[in-house]
Amino acid sequence: MTLDEPLKGLRLLVVEDEAMVAMMIEDMLGDLGCEVVGPAGTVARAQELAQAEPGLAAAILDVNLGGLPIYPVAETLRARGVPFVFITGYGAADIDDRFADAPTVQKPFSMPVLRDTLVRVIG
């Protein structure tokens, strides 16, 4: 990662079930020079991508997809060594304790907040 373009060229998995939010995230990541994998709108699709996609630098995970928690996908990513950021409209207090160390971004969020959080988790 370079200092001026720290996310350029990185492959990021996007998991979000609200189409407008997913498009907003795709646009933000595109502006940052990232390659978007997905977006996945269901836990099942997210799990497929989390298991099979090569070269993921990180993932952005909506905590609740159609009433289902995203935690099985988070477990898969953690097992693969892929860092992730949770996004939620509910707040970090509602995140499962197993993932208390994962950063959480509150919806709505700005591109600088998302960028800085991703840079921090990717290292």
Positive or negative: CA dihedral 67, 108, 17, 81: negative
Q: What percent of the chain has pLDDT over 70?
A: 97
Q: What is the pLDDT of residues 30-52, one digit of tens each?
A: 999 999 999 999 999 999 999 99
Q: Is residue 36 classed as helix, strand or coil in its secondary structure?
A: strand
Q: What is the DSSP letter of 34?
A: P
State the Cα–Cα distance between residues 109 and 88, nearest whole angstrom: 10
Work out the widest C-alpha separation in the chain, in whole angstroms. 39
Give the model's confidence band at 4: pLDDT under 50 very low, under 70 low, under 90 confident, else very high. low
Q: How much is the average pLDDT of 22-27?
A: 97
Give the model's confidence band at 123: pLDDT under 50 very low, under 70 low, under 90 confident, else very high. confident
Name which of 29, 91, 22, 31 is nearest 56 in CA terms: 29
Q: Is residue 84 classed as helix, strand or coil in its secondary structure?
A: strand
